[in-house]
Amino acid sequence: MKSADLLNLMLYVSYLGGLLFIGKVLRAKISLFQRLYFPAALIAGFLGLALGPFGVKLIPVAMINTWSILPGRLIDIVFACVFLGTVVPSVRQIWQYAGPQLVYSWFVVACQWIVGIGLAYFIIQPIWNIPAFVGTIIEIGWAGGHGTAGGMAVVFKNLGFPEGGDLGLTSATVGLVVGIIVGMAYINIAVRKGYTSVLESPDQIKTGNLSGILPADQEKVIAKSRITTDSIEPFALHLCLVGISIIIGWFIHEGLIALHPKFKAVPLFPLAMIGGVLIQIIANMTKTDGLINRQVIERIQGTALDFLVVAAVSSIKIPVVIKYAVPLLILMAGGVVLMHLLTWFLAPRIFPDSWFERGIAEYGALCGVLAVGLMLLRVVDPDLKTAAPKAFAFERPFFSPFVGGGLITAVVPIFVHEMGALAVIGAAAVLAVALMGVAYLCGWFRPHPGAYR
């Protein structure tokens, strides 16, 4: 890389940071953004989109082109951090606390595949001649989010449909907005109908500090460390571990390609997660896991994710979205209807207690990102009194590594391309039926939930 190119990269990332800062200021000052719970990164992304070549043209094309490739690399950082500094609970603990939650979340994802690929195969492909694997953007963008959509852009490109990357990013943006706005509307409906376990009236809904800035006497410690700065900067050490995790993932990726060239279509980010798992296993075996601070890792992960969202939304190619507007609208409408039905029909029948609290957390996480699910959960269960927070947290280690951006998410479009849409739809249907069978045998599924309490 030439020095001029490196300087441009630094400047482009700095401008990205400037947008993110402006997004935070707008979130702190504009009440509409606060009431809608829009994160600063999403606001900054919309601002970048408006200022870009498809808006008022203040941001040059070269900068946007650089931003467009950043999500595919930043997601490697996000996934490398998934297991670093964590203690993965045992299968027994997961099943005890979060069995219904785990079955429900996997069932939702299976349905997202069935609906998305089904709409693409039976309606979109015959009319618009678009590959059926475009139907996976519901699960990629909604359960996966902007990071996954950015990482999957290379997969769509390798499969011969590069526009799928932009459609995936658009899907993620739609899912995030739907998760926040519709999720809050659902909370108000549930409180009025008496479906909530803690809140008894809409007046009890607490929205916290909407500006996102705490008073001086309420400031939080964002990270701790046992590493002394005279030996190495603690943040730098944790960055080293993230980097080594990505390197391990890269070696795995190259090894797979050596086995068969088709493995080139597999993205790097789930393999970087495996690298993080190996680092954590080694740390556990050598009794050095206490030196890896989860809070520091989360700061690195969160920073990468914020910049990722700004870059992803800012670099959406509006002409591509316009060109595929009708197929995209069909897929997004299918996603909205599906999530509505599952939240109000299945959740009260499968969750043994606090069904709405459990269901709304999954709604937010499977439409937008994990943070949206947690935000909605804190609104409906502000003091975390129900079983929903523990169940939601315990099911994630057995969900996120595989779907919603994990290993299986990464290969489903490839399977659709190689094996055919009907085969993948059939496999997803078998999975969905099996999950409901498990729920029935375990006594979780109730055909008649009674008063929905």
For 226-239, what is each residue's pLDDT tens digit? Answer: 888 888 999 999 99
Higher-pLDDT residue of 2 and 256 is 256
Query: Cα separation of 145 and 312, whole Å?
Result: 10
pLDDT of residue 203: 67
Q: What is the pLDDT of residue 79?
A: 82
Residues 361-377: what's their mean pLDDT? 86
Find tokens 């410690």 and name the residue: 221
pLDDT digits 0-9 by tens, 273-302:
889 989 999 999 999 988 999 899 989 988
pLDDT, position 185: 92
Q: Cα(320)–Cα(165) distance, rounded to whole angstroms?
A: 10
Which pLDDT score, from 0 to 100, does residue 451 have? 47
Token reading at 438: 């498990």
- What separation, in Å, do the N-terminal and C-terminal C-alpha atoms of the chain show? 61
Per domain, the residue ranges of the chain are 3-208+230-441
Cα angle for residues 448, 383, 453 (degrees, 5° grid): 10
* pLDDT(452) > 60: no
**Residue of 327 and 266 predicted with greater confidence:** 327
What is the arithmetic mean of pLDDT over 258-278? 84
pLDDT reported for residue 217: 72
Q: Please answer whether residues 243 and 81 qualify as being in contact, where contact means their C-beta atoms are separated by less than 8 angstroms.
A: no
Mean pLDDT over all residues of the chain? Answer: 88
User: What was the pLDDT predicted at 15?
Assistant: 96
- pTM of the predicted structure, to 2 decimals: 0.86
pLDDT at 449: 66
Q: Of 284, 281, 274, 280, which Cα lies nearest the Cα of 238?
A: 280
Which pLDDT score is estimated for 383? 75
Please report the pLDDT score of residue 345 as a whole number: 93
Distance CA 6, CA 24 (A): 27
Q: Sign of the CA dihedral 103, 105, 107, 110?
A: negative
Over residues 85-139, the pLDDT tens digits come to 887 666 776 677 789 999 999 999 999 999 999 999 999 999 999 999 999 999 9
Choose the weakest-confidence range: 2-6, 190-194, 314-318.
2-6
Of 135-149, 174-188, 254-268, 384-398, where does mean pLDDT reach its minimum?
Answer: 384-398
What was the pLDDT predicted at 305?
Answer: 86
pLDDT at residue 208 in the model: 58
User: How far is it, in rounded angstroms, from Cα 84 to Cα 81?
Assistant: 5
53-66, pLDDT tens digit by residue?
Answer: 999 999 999 999 99
> How wide is the angle at C-alpha 113 spanned by C-alphas 112 and 115, nearest 5°?
65
pLDDT at site 141: 94
User: For the chain, what percent of residues have pLDDT higher than 70?
Assistant: 95
Q: Is residue 159 predicted with pLDDT exceeding 50? A: yes
